[in-house]
Amino acid sequence: MIGRHLHIDVLALRRRPAACRRFVAMSLIRLAGTFCLIATLSSSVSANTESLHARIDQLVAARMPTEAAPPATDSEFVRRVYLDLTGCIPSTADARAFIDSSDSGKRTALIERLLASPQYARRMQVFFDLVWMERRPEKNVPNAEWTEYLRASFAAGKPYDQLVREILSADGTDPTLRPAMKFYLDRDGDRNLVTRDIGRLFLGRDLQCAQCHDHPLIDDYKQEHYYGLLAFWNRSSIFTDKANQKYIAEKADGEVSFKSVFLDEQPRSTPPRLPDSPMPEEPKFNAGEEYVVAPADGVRPVPKYSRRAKLAPELTSAERRDFRRNIVNRLWALMFGRGLVDPVDLHHAANPPSHPELLDLLADEFAGASFDVRWLLRELALTAAYQRASDHPSIDPNQLPPESYCVALLKPLSPEQLGWSVLEASGVSAAYRAGVEGELAADTKFAQLLDADEKRQRQRLEISERRFYERLAPSLGEFVNLFGGPPGSPAQGFQATVHQALFFDNGGTIRSWLVPSGQNLLARAAALPDSSAQVEEIYLTVLTRRPDVEERTLAVDALNARPAAERPAALEELAWALLASAEFRLNH
């Protein structure tokens, strides 16, 4: 993987006037922002009584170099929030109902409804699987068990810190938490990989360079940090019992020592210790008394003192603001298309957040709200910053610094979002949903749940969603292969490839989804009485908006110019073109 650093090379800036100008311009903008901030803070000392989303907007506004874009249209908003909170565009009916509703509280109500839906838990499952496993190939823990564990955790509103504690402390002895071992087991327990990924994914610090020496360019990343982290795992390994069941075992001995490859120095040793934590006291036992279960052939040893067991509670403790900052920054990036600290795994003093006070506010409020991911996402979705338009009436968005949040940033759809959205738009999803609903209605046991209490209704929704998901998820494979990044490395920025275009142009998948059948998009459109209604149905379904006057006229004229026999083909051309457009490819 290409190493990254955020070191401002003054000499390089001197050599490159353009970069220098940009740097100076940015500094001035930041400076201006600071003055505004002071003004804002002094005028709103009692801000604490306000909702979090209102305070977020104040802090964002305080650093805006210019006027913000107006709020997004209802069409833009409904598409955006569906994609962000459920991972898919809305159905035609949902989009139409929302856009046509005159209820002034409809945005807030929609956010609530989506966060309560089974699709929200699914979206979080997909997102956190990507963050933590990075599309690594399936190894020791079946993907199905792991994803169900994640989905159920988010459906139940499990606090984020508890989820992390489970993942970092599961050892296989609690059968309900076996899937949580995936983080360790599917990395084959490789101590350097585990160390690097704990630093990167839970503390937002990519300490890889510090494996061999202090980071040459980031003063904050020391070799002792790397090995302090490694020492938690160093005595542990994967243990396989006679039934071929995997566990994590630990020895009572094994010290960690290290020295810089650059320096001729004596090796140093370190106990398990998180960056900047005090030196821990470790219990000592007499020789022969270190184990609860002593090591022996075919026996999983259990030490009296487990270094690994200390990791989860220490990492998630109230002292670790970096643990909180890492996750709120990642969730911010999920919603806003860019982290307050960017890249998300390079938190350090020389790469400060664009809005330091905002990052700390989010981190502390999130902890204060019991690490409730759903609550935080609701607050983010409720901000004016999130609900802004992605175009600006007077300024080219390219001229605005991305971290100004004056306009909504364009976010490329993830492979999963893209795949589910094509399935939704073409009408394949609706057919599968109808199939599942039909089965459930025919099943007397589930039919009873229809009118039952809220909890059982919810259960029914989850069962229905799960069947639907399991049947259609395999269709996403091609999208993940073509649009996803390489396994085992962080999700890259936008990667547009000729292979993706060829897949849309010539691949059989999308063409087969567009063949008119049942109530799918092209069958529905063909049944409509006039060209204008047909054009509207296709635009609304694929792009979640109605065509503007110009677009409608052009498309209607083009349709009317074709003989009746060519109408179905012409409708397909329109639907395909919208699916293949940049507007569809991006969340805007």
- Note the residues at the interface with another protein (CB under 8 A): 1-9, 12, 16, 19, 22-23, 208-209, 212-213, 216, 261, 343, 390-392, 397-398, 410, 412, 481-482, 486, 492-508, 511, 548, 551, 554-555, 558, 569-570, 572-574, 576-578, 580-583, 585-586, 588
Q: Write down the least CB distance from residue 81 to another protein, Å.
A: 18
**Residue 243 or 498 with smaller CB distance to another protein:** 498
Under DSSP, is residue 239 helix (H, G, I), strand (E, B) or coil? strand
User: Closest Cα to residue 255, out of 230, 222, 290, 292?
Assistant: 230
**Residue 19 or 193 with smaller CB distance to another protein:** 19
CA 403, 406, 408, 412 torsion: positive or negative?
negative
**Residue 59 or 510 with smaller CB distance to another protein:** 510
Q: Write down the least CB distance from residue 586 to another protein, Å.
A: 6
Question: 252: how many CB neighbours lie within 10 A of its CB?
Answer: 19
Distance between CA atoms of residues 96 and 91, nearest Å: 9
**257 strand-pairing partners:** 269
Q: Write down the least CB distance from residue 397 to another protein, Å.
A: 7
DSSP secondary structure letter of residue 386: T
Distance between CA atoms of residues 158 and 494, nearest Å: 31
In single-letter form, the type of residue at position 275 comes to P
Contact 186, 136 (CB under 8 A): yes
Q: 96-101 long-range contacts, Cβ below 8 Å, gap at least 24?
A: 96/540, 98/74, 99/74, 99/75, 99/545, 99/546
Q: Write down the least CB distance from residue 389 to another protein, Å.
A: 9
**Residue 300 or 562 with smaller CB distance to another protein:** 562
CB under 8 Å to 400, separation ≥6 — which residues?
Answer: 65, 66, 392, 406, 407
**Residue 315 or 535 with smaller CB distance to another protein:** 535
Q: Write down the least CB distance from residue 536 to another protein, Å.
A: 15
Contact 160, 328 (CB under 8 A): no
**Residue 18 or 296 with smaller CB distance to another protein:** 18
Residue whose tokens read 């955006």: 80
**Residue 40 or 509 with smaller CB distance to another protein:** 509
User: Closest Cα to residue 92, out of 578, 585, 581, 582?
Assistant: 578
**Residue 181 or 389 with smaller CB distance to another protein:** 389
Contact 520, 427 (CB under 8 A): yes
Distance between CA atoms of residues 409 and 76, nearest Å: 12
CB under 8 Å to 439, separation ≥6 — which residues?
Answer: 467
Give first-to-last CA distance, the chain, whole Å.
30
In single-letter form, the type of residue at position 479 comes to F
**Residue 63 or 411 with smaller CB distance to another protein:** 411
* CA–CA distances in Å: residue 251 to residues 232, 259, 301: 12, 24, 6
Q: Residue 521 burial by CB count (10 A; 0-12/13-18/19+): exposed, middle or buried? A: buried
Q: Hey, what are 333's tokens?
A: 């990036």
CB under 8 Å to 55, separation ≥6 — which residues?
Answer: 47, 48, 361
Q: Write down the least CB distance from residue 380 to another protein, Å.
A: 22
Q: Write down the least CB distance from residue 112 to another protein, Å.
A: 29
Distance between CA atoms of residues 270 and 278, nearest Å: 12
Distance between CA atoms of residues 392 and 396, nearest Å: 7
